Copies of this chain bind each other. A is one copy, B any other.
Amino acid sequence: MSQALYQRIAAALRQRILSGGHPAGDLLPSENELAGAYHTSRVTVRKAFNLLEAEGLIKARQGKGYIVQPPRHSEYTLFFGSGEELGHYRCEEVRLLPPDPDVSRALNLHNGQLTVVIRRVLERSGVSIACDEKYIPYERGSPTVERELNAARQPEERTDRTEEVSLRTEMTLRVAVPPPEVRKALGCGKEGLLMTERLFLALGGKRLGLSRTYLTPDYGPLMAYAGLPVTEDSEEAKKNESE
């Protein structure tokens, strides 16, 4: 109990929507209406609506009201395991190399610019389960590169220091046959592996680096969800919803 009023209002609306009381397209009661019904202020009702809007259940339309949204299950939250259960990265090789054309294009490199290539292997219980290749544009004295190298050489540290200055990361997922060096590192053949390619972008759209990670079947499946996340207070919420 002792849940905030705006959360109780949100829970009540959420349940009505999810149990079919308000099909998609429906207009919900207005802020003023609910403020009256709950004997509270408009601000409090608004907070409840904002909560549901953040969850994607409803959408506000100025001058009209709050409209129930059709479930958008075209967006998923994909999460990778964090640190411990994932395994340990071991830095395998760091080299300064001319990039292949794909990498050069993705990173917007000028002609002849070199890249730092960092290859690491992820191991769990002694088994190699993934291999990661990271390409960073080489610029003399760039703090990013130095930081990357330090991070890569200390395998027990946080895995991805580039991300510390990265505003946004764009990822693609596909099945790909790893290049020979990766196959050797993973001890696998020419079968296709799940590959994630990540492009790290800074504030002004500057490309900080590109990372390709090949996941062996031993890595296990990637996991994602759509709709409500499982939160700490889901239990409490359920109690209140069932009132």
Contact = CB atoms under 8 A, between A and B. Distances in A.
A26 interface: no
Q: Which 6 A-B pairs have the closest CB atoms?
A: A172-B221, A168-B227, A173-B222, A174-B221, A76-B78, A169-B226
Interface in A13-68: 15, 18-20, 24, 54
Interface of A: 15, 18-20, 24, 54, 70-71, 73-82, 158, 160, 163-175, 191-194, 197, 201, 203, 217, 220-228, 230
B173 A221 contact: yes
Tell me if A's interface is mostly helix, strand, loop or mixed.
mixed
Copies of this chain held together in the complex: 2
A193 B119 CA distance: 25
Given A77-B76, A79-B75, A227 B167 contact: yes
A82 B48 CA distance: 29
Contacts of A226: 168-169, 171
Contacts of A166: 71, 73, 227
A173 B160 contact: no
B73 A163 contact: yes
Given A173-B221, A173-B222, A222-B172, A82 B74 contact: yes
A225 B76 contact: no
B74 A75 contact: no
B217 A170 contact: no
A222 B19 contact: no
Among A20, A158, A174, chain B packs the most CB atoms within 10 A around the CB of: A174
Contact of A75 (B77, B191, B230): B77
A19 B165 CA distance: 8
A194 B217 contact: no
Given A54-B54, A174-B194, A169 B227 contact: yes
Nearest to A204: B238
Contacts of A24: 164
A163 B75 CA distance: 12
A82 B18 CA distance: 23
Given A20-B165, A24-B164, A192-B192, A223 B170 contact: yes
Contacts of A77: 75-78
22 contacts: A20-B165, A24-B164, A70-B164, A71-B163, A71-B166, A73-B160, A74-B79, A74-B80, A74-B81, A75-B77, A76-B78, A76-B79, A76-B171, A78-B78, A78-B224, A169-B226, A170-B223, A173-B222, A173-B224, A174-B194, A175-B192, A175-B194
